[in-house]
Structure 1
Amino acid sequence: MTADHLGYDPERHARLLTDYCLAVQPGERVLVQTTTLALPLVEALHRTLLQRGATPIVRLEFPSQADEFYRYAPEHLLDATEPLLLSEVESVQASVRILTPTAPDSRLDPARAARHRAALAPIARARAQRRWNLTLYPTAFGAEAAQMTLPDYEAFVAGAMFLDTPDPVARWGDVRALQARLLERLERADEVRILGEGTDLTLRIGGRSWVNSDGKRNMPSGEVFTGPLETSANGQIRFDVPTIYGGAAVSGVQLTFRDGVVVQASAEEGEAALLAALETDAGARLLGELGIGSNAGIQVPTRNILFDEKIGGTVHLALGNGYPETGSSNVSALHWDLIKDLRQGGQLLLDGEVFQQDGQFT
């Protein structure tokens, strides 16, 4: 690799997470959660945290551990909170979860997975009260899902995080500045309308706060987001970016909203997973987030939400839990981002004015 194209390097990734994303300080405890597939990044992160004077708390699972739990756990364990994990989360100042994409298991019962996600809600709430980051380590299945070779996928991941540049932190500063300009217009808006194939949906955002997501919580990032008014969504939307959620492949999701609530739902693939997710709890049929992707380094879908929701020219809506800092009051154990590509014939309107046409900001 040349100095101008450094490629994926777990050491650089670990330093970006420690110093930029989490801003770890001496004496802090940091929880690291992932599977053994991410061992090179875990080792680098463990060393880096120790070098910064922090205490790493590492929780490793084998790749199929969660799937096997959903399949074989007795009923009472599905509804258990996992007190040891809750205690760990409450004992740290920051945490990082590292995704390691693996093949979906068609034998899983989506309803069992949804039940356990609901039981883990206290852990999610405790994590949200501390500094946190969600990132990804490139795996062989991640490459397969993205229809890339593993070296190409590693290069893609590095590029999305700016790890292939001499100064990733400076590049995330550029993203922050770009998104700040978008927010100047978005913060004045009251009504958002999304138009596209199978889509005509209106939302209200007046009085809500927008967040400039610049890699501190998600790595990679590249989006601005808010929480729409809980009863404001009306119309229908087709989410055309396929994904993998909760161990299930899902595509062709069509939702109809009335006064904020999903009243009709279908999917061309993974409909059982979609319907189970909507039954998670009372807040699962409401929207917790409206996000607009702006990362020009991510141009093709990879069936991974962390990356695909950041694609420049897309919007995403999250079913379920909202972020309190946006003004959202929706509470749910579910937070599922569904993605709409606007780059071919789509429009995003603010108070009737075109803000984005065919994926390009106007």
Structure 2
Amino acid sequence: MSDLRLSQLAQVLVTHSARLRVGERVFIETFDTPDDFVQALIEAVAAVGAIPFVETHSNRVLRTLYQSATTEQMQAIGQHELERMKTMDAYFGIRGASNSLEMSDVPAEKMALYQNFWWRPVADQRVNHTKWVVLRYPSPAFAQSAGMSTEAFTDFYFDVCTLDYAKMQEAMVPLRERMLQADRVQLTGETLDLSFSIKDIGAVMCYGERNIPDGECFTCPVRDSVNGHILFNTASLYQGSLFEGIRLVLENGKIVEATASTPAQTARLNQILDSDEGARYIGEFSLGFNPYVLQPMRDTLFDEKIAGSFHFTPGQAYTTADNGNRSQVHWDLVYIQRPEYGGGEVRFDGELIRKDGLFVPDDLLGLNPENLK
């Protein structure tokens, strides 16, 4: 990959996503990320007069750390990391991976300690009190998950991550307005029939300020309003474990039945959903429309932006579109409604909003792939 593309991506993060200013402190946290990109990011931060702080991680080392986790250890590390985050104005999280399943054999109870005492307090501080953006970084393992060669995937990656997000922002304004005005949502598809309310919840446009890549507009169901069933047609990697064929049945907002493709996956799925009371309720509903992301690649940050998809999220609700649900879990599960995945419809108060992955009303046509590229 060329130095030019590294610099272009760094510029997107610094000038579009975080809009860094002179004197602002930015914490750059990387995971299995090549030095070339970290250096480019430091240079871009320094060029605008901001102050870079850097910490690099190895996922293999973190795996060993998590396996040895104790409550006291995770509390101490979490408190230390939280105090540092409180001194920052911005945060960049860049995650690469030589093995996307590196954490798959970390016991669930150990991951829960990390989630509860380290990740959650620091994430809450970061999300609510700093400017922040997170992204993945291309690697052979990532390319393999996407079913592509490393070279082809790297080209794809930079197309996705450096598209015209200002154009996307303008195109999604009418969708946000429709979400703000809507009450009842109905989702139907080959393995899907869900209905719920989003009345008075709020809606948030996502165009490269928090995630790279981006391309979604999200809201949140009224907590007890969700009824129906869904069999997700994409696999999901969560807490280092791969899940396929996740099926949820919901009654009055609560997930009352949850299964996956194998008994082991079903057991792990329910273990996660039993993490706390809020994990069996939904904390986000979002429509995805990034024109370059068309196929699942077992990476949530990309998969949740797939054109013609939506994601439905057990667990924590964001305070920007909030139904009051609180949980250590926030698990974006993706369903694609394009024809090759079985099709489907999205309706707001009975009006057809999207059919087989394409927006239908005139004011939303700008979000279809041919108009965003």
Alpha-carbon distance in 2 for matches of 1:119, 1:262: 25
Q: Distance in 1 between matches of 2:22 and 2:234?
A: 42
Alignment deviations for residues 209-260 of structure 1 (CA, whole Å, 9 cap, x no partner): 1111111001111000012111111111111111221111111111111111
> What residue number does 1:298 align with?
293
Query: Does structure 2 conserve the Cα–Cα contact (< 8 Å) formed by 1:110 and 1:272?
Result: no
Show the counterpart of 1:174: 167
1:216 aligns with 2:209: yes
* 1:331 maps to which of 318, 326, 334: 326
Match in the other structure for 2:277: 282
Deviation at residue 78 of structure 1 after TM alignment? 4.9
Distance in 2 of aligned mates of 1:36 and 1:308: 20
The CA deviation string for residues 117-147 of structure 1, in whole angstroms up to 9 with x for no partner, is 1223211111112111111110110001101
Query: 1:43 maps to what in 2?
Result: 39
Structure 1 runs not aligned, ≥5 long:
163-167
Match of 1:113 in 2: 111
Give 3-state SS (helix, strand or coil) of 1:255's partner.
strand
Aligned residue for 2:161? 161
Cα shift at 1:32: 1.0
The share of aligned pairs that are identical, in percent, is: 30
Q: Deviations over 1:62-92 (max 9, x none)?
A: 1312322232334543565522211111110
Q: What corresponds to 1:104 in structure 2? A: 101
Corresponding residue number in structure 2 for 1:165: none
Distance 1:80 1:282 in 2: 26
Q: Which of 223, 226, 230 lines up with 1:233 in the alignment?
A: 226
Deviation larger for 184-193 or 172-181: 184-193
Which sits farther off after the overlay, 71-80 or 106-115? 71-80
In the alignment, which of 308, 328, 338 is matched to residue 343 of structure 1? 338
Quickly say closer, same or farther: Cα 1:8–1:157, change in 2 above 3 A: farther
What is the count of residue pairs matched by the alignment?
351
Partner of 2:260: 267
Distance of 2:76 and 2:234 partners within structure 1: 33
Name the amino acid aligned to 2:106. Answer: L
Is the Cα contact below 8 Å between 1:7 and 1:154 reproduced in 2?
A: no
**Distance in structure 1 (CA, Å) of the matches to 2:279 and 2:57:** 28
**DSSP 3-state at the match of 1:178:** helix
TM-score (norm 1): 0.91
SS in 2 for 1:290: strand
Partner residue, 1:57 = 53
After superposition, what is the alpha-carbon deviation per residue over 1:279-299, rounded to whole angstroms, capped at 9, x for unaligned? 222221111110000111111
1:92 aligns with 2:92: no
Task: Assess if the C-alpha contact under 8 Å between 1:38 and 1:98 holds in 2.
Answer: no
Mean Cα deviation higher: 304-313 or 187-196? 187-196
The SS at the match of 2:354 is strand
Bigger CA drift: 45-54 or 32-41? 32-41
Contact persistence 1:135–1:220 (CA under 8 A): yes
C-alpha RMSD of the superposition: 1.9
Is the 8 Å Cα contact of residues 255 and 264 (structure 1) preserved in structure 2? Answer: yes
Q: Which amino acid is 1:113 matched to? A: M
Higher helix share: 2
User: Displacement, 1:271?
Assistant: 3.0
TM-score (norm 2): 0.89
CA distance in 1, matches of 2:267, 2:45: 41
Q: Deviations over 1:340-361 (max 9, x none)?
A: 1111321112112221111111
